[in-house]
Amino acid sequence: MMNLETCERCEGSGADPMQALFDDDVVLCVECRGDGVLVAVDVVEERMLLSA
């Protein structure tokens, strides 16, 4: 199961918030690679299946 979660680093904007504001070049967020969302795999369920 896969979920799309809003990237917490850039809050969905896709731009790295740590980039210099005066810079004309837009630095893509390193977390979501500019998508603004993260693909979250449900690893909890997988762990439960493995431990069962």
The Cα–Cα gap between 9 and 38 comes to 10
What's the min distance (Å) between Cβ of 32 and Zn ion? 3
Q: Which of 1, 4, 6, 9 binds Zn ion (CB under 5 A)?
A: 9
Q: Does 10 bind Zn ion (CB under 5 A)?
A: yes
The Cβ of residue 17 has, within 10 Å, a number of other Cβ atoms equal to 11
Q: Which amino acid is it at 49?
A: L
Q: Does 37 bind Zn ion (CB under 5 A)?
A: no
| Positions that interact with Zn ion (CB under 5 A) | 7, 9-10, 29, 31-32
